[in-house]
C-alpha cells in the first residue's frame, strides 16, 4: 500500500470515529461534506472547529 493510500485509510478511520462520537446528524453531514475537501495527499492539516 502506498504511503498516501495508508494515510487516506487512517484519516477515513479518524472521520468514522468522529461520526461515532456524535448523535447529531448535522455533525455527521458536515463530516461527510468536508472529508473529501479536507483530505488531499500532502494537504497541510489545519483543524478548524465547527461551531453551530
**pLDDT exceeds cutoff 60 at 45:** no
Q: Which residue has the cell 472529508?
A: 35
The count of C-alpha atoms lying within 13 angstroms of the C-alpha of 6, restricted to the half-sphere facing its C-beta, is 3
Domain range for 32 is 3-38
Question: In terms of pLDDT, which residue wins out, 25 or 50?
Answer: 25
For residue 10, being part of any structural domain is answered with yes
For residue 51, being part of any structural domain is answered with no
**pLDDT exceeds cutoff 90 at 26:** yes
For residue 44, being part of any structural domain is answered with no
pTM (2 d.p.) = 0.59
Structure confidence at residue 34 as a pLDDT band (50, 70, 90):
confident
Give the C-alpha separation, 24 to 32, whole Å: 13
Average pLDDT of the residues in 17-46: 80
Amino acid at each position: 500500500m502506498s504511503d498516501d493510500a495508508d494515510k487516506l485509510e487512517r484519516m477515513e478511520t479518524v472521520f468514522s470515529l468522529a461520526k461515532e462520537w456524535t448523535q447529531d446528524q448535522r455533525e455527521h453531514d458536515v463530516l461527510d461534506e468536508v472529508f473529501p475537501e479536507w483530505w488531499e495527499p500532502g494537504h497541510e492539516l489545519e483543524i478548524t472547529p465547527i461551531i453551530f
